[in-house]
Amino acid sequence: MQKIWTLFVKDMRLEARQKDMGFLMLAFAMMETLVFGFALDSGGRMQTDEVAGILWMGFLFAGMLGIVRLFGRETAEDVMVGMAMAPGGRLPVVMAKMAVAWVFCAATASIATSVDVAVFQVPGTRVSVIVVLVMLLGALGLASVGTLLSGLSLNLSGHEVLLPVLTMPFLVPVAIAGMEATGAAWRGGRPWPWIHALMAYDLIFMVLPLLLYEFLWEV
């Protein structure tokens, strides 16, 4: 547990000092919101489902920018090898990276939701407890999927280009469940079946990196 906390604090301090990953994710999410908003808003008649779609597409694409950078600092000079050989084993490295990715994805999701609700002002769209829960679960899904695939593709040629291509198919269920749950919450429908599906998918991809963490170091 101590190694997980140490690595988590290390990454958060580096990001607080450099501010590149967080800034890029938030800037992309906001730009996507404005571009798609102007493209789809026909005479001010946007619906809640359209706002939910814009929100989730912007969030997932912005999150991919952070996932690509997840192991970026450790690729130079075999830093990953040193982290793995440090006391505590290899598993804490994977768990710390997943926690860092979740923090940045959750922050991006929170700000993207607030911006979408404020910009489009569609009746029924608001930041509620259910919407916050859905976004946090979506951030966890993005972080867990991204951690697994980023570790698997770390040593491949063209890692930065291949990772989004490998990751997006696995994020389709997250996007569908998230959009449906958010839209249902805003319409006053039943979001819980979609929330339960999102929870199940998150659980699968949280467990997989923990089961395959030894394999991540061999590929």
Low-confidence ranges of the chain (pLDDT < 50): none
Q: Are 73 and 82 in contact (CB under 8 A)?
A: no
SS (H, E, C) the chain: CHHHHHHHHHHHHHHHHHCHHHHHHHHHHHHHHHHHHHHHCCCCCCCHHHHHHHHHHHHHHHHHHHHHCCCHHHCHHHHHHHHHHCCCCCHHHHHHHHHHHHHHHHHHHHHHHHHHHHHHCCCCCCCCHHHHHHHHHHHHHHHHHHHHHHHHCCCCCCHHHHHHHHHHHHHHHHHHHHHHHHHHHHHCCCCHHHHHHHHHHHHHHHHHHHHHHHHHCCC
pLDDT of the residue at 83 = 59
pLDDT of the residue at 193 = 92
∠ CA 196-127-110, nearest 5°, is: 80
pLDDT of the residue at 44 = 54
- Read off the pTM: 0.83
pLDDT of the residue at 217 = 57
Q: In 143-159, which positions are buried (b, 16+ CB within 10 angstroms) versus exposed (e)?
A: bbbbbbbbbbbbeeeeb
pLDDT of the residue at 162 = 77
pLDDT of the residue at 73 = 62
pLDDT of the residue at 166 = 82
Other beta carbons within 10 angstroms of residue 163's beta carbon come to: 23
